[in-house]
């Protein structure tokens, strides 16, 4: 084993963090080689998030130290923090800021001025300049080309402004229907219902939509819900899918299980009947909706 800290992407030794009398992290030592993917697993409350904050310079350790690519991690080292990217499970957005204010804030945190974060500046960027900024997101080479192309399209076709309709948004490079719906609903105040894997899973299980085509599921949900509920309906299902209705669902924690087809047909029958009940679930196993002969509409009963 190499003793040089430069051989490791992450080199942590004896990391400890105390909050008053509570020890959140005690003596964490780990080494992650350069160019590898490292899974950091543990139960809730075991200190994973605190350790990540220590490794990225967001928290100062009570004891021990961490180095990233041979460089000592410190809350004062802004240059190192600019080189580290974090992709959280949930959206880390401030509800009182607009999308553009978020972009400006993030740009300033990474050392960019306001004039450098608009579409015109991005349109003039090169892949070599943009790739290091989005490296942590994955597929950064493909994404950098799409982002630059998208910005060039905004400047050429829309004077640098983001259009507020689905057709024009999806004509931009790298912008699909889901992304367009997110921009419409959350940035521009135009009703939109993004359908991702969570919405597909939740809506099929509950029985308020049927199918694995995101466009068709979006059409089904939008046809039964008032426009003002579209964005909220997507947000609620995404959060429910992340936290409760996971691939292996936490039905005992679910507040809508009494109205859920999957719970009624599969779970509530008990272990002895689950195998037989699964035969009544559509293609996709536990993620799909139960077969049903009646064409029920979406139930919007408020509890």
| 178 counts as catalytic | yes
Distances (CA, A) of 149 to 100, 107, 157, 177: 19, 20, 12, 17
Length of the chain as a residue count: 303
Distance separating alpha carbons of residues 296 and 182, to the nearest angstrom: 28
Residue 23, helix vs strand vs coil: strand
Helix (H) or strand (E) holding 29: strand 22-33
Distance separating alpha carbons of residues 196 and 198, to the nearest angstrom: 5
| 48 counts as catalytic | no
CB distance 287 to 246 below 8 Å: no
Distance separating alpha carbons of residues 278 and 114, to the nearest angstrom: 55
User: Which residues, in sequence order, are bridge partners of residue 23?
Assistant: 18
CB distance 29 to 13 below 8 Å: yes
CB distance 298 to 221 below 8 Å: yes
Residue 283, helix vs strand vs coil: coil
**CA angle in degrees (0–180, nearest 5) for 61-75-96:** 110
Q: What is the DSSP track for 167-216?
A: HHHHTSTT--HHHHHHIIIIIS--------HHHHHHHHHHTS---S-HHH
Distances (CA, A) of 146 to 60, 140, 141: 37, 10, 9
CB distance 68 to 80 below 8 Å: yes
Q: Which of 77, 118, 196, 212 is catalytic?
A: 196
Q: Which residues are catalytic?
A: 178, 196
């Amino acid at each position: 084993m190499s003793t040089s800290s430069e051989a490791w992407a992450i080199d942590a030794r004896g990391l400890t963090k105390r909050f008053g009398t509570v020890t959140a992290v005690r003596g964490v030592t780990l080494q992650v080689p350069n160019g590898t993917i490292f899974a950091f697993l543990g139960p809730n409350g075991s200190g994973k998030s605190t350790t990540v904050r220590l490794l990225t310079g967001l928290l100062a350790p009570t004891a021990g130290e961490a180095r990233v690519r041979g460089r000592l991690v410190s809350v004062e080292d802004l240059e190192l923090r600019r080189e580290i990217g974090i992709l959280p499970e949930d959206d880390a957005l401030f509800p009182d800021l607009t999308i553009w204010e978020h972009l400006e804030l993030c740009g300033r945190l990474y050392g960019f001025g306001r004039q450098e974060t608009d579409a015109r500046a991005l349109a003039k960027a090169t892949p070599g300049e943009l790739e290091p900024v989005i490296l942590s997101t994955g597929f950064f080479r493909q994404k950098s080309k799409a982002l630059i192309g998208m910005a060039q399209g905004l400047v050429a076709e829309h004077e640098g402004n983001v259009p507020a309709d689905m057709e024009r948004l999806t004509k931009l490079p790298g912008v699909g229907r889901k992304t367009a719906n997110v921009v419409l609903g959350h940035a521009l105040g135009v009703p939109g219902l993004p359908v991702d894997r969570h919405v597909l899973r939740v809506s099929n299980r509950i029985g308020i939509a049927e199918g694995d085509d995101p466009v068709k599921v979006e059409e089904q949900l939008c046809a039964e819900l008032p426009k003002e509920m579209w964005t909220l309906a997507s947000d609620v299902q995404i959060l429910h899918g992340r936290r409760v209705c996971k691939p292996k669902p936490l039905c005992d924690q679910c507040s809508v299980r009494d109205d859920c087809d999957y719970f009624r047909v599969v779970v509530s029958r008990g272990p002895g009947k689950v195998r037989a009940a699964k035969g009544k679930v559509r293609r996709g196993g536990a993620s799909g909706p139960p077969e049903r002969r009646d064409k029920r509409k979406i139930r919007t009963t408020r509890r």
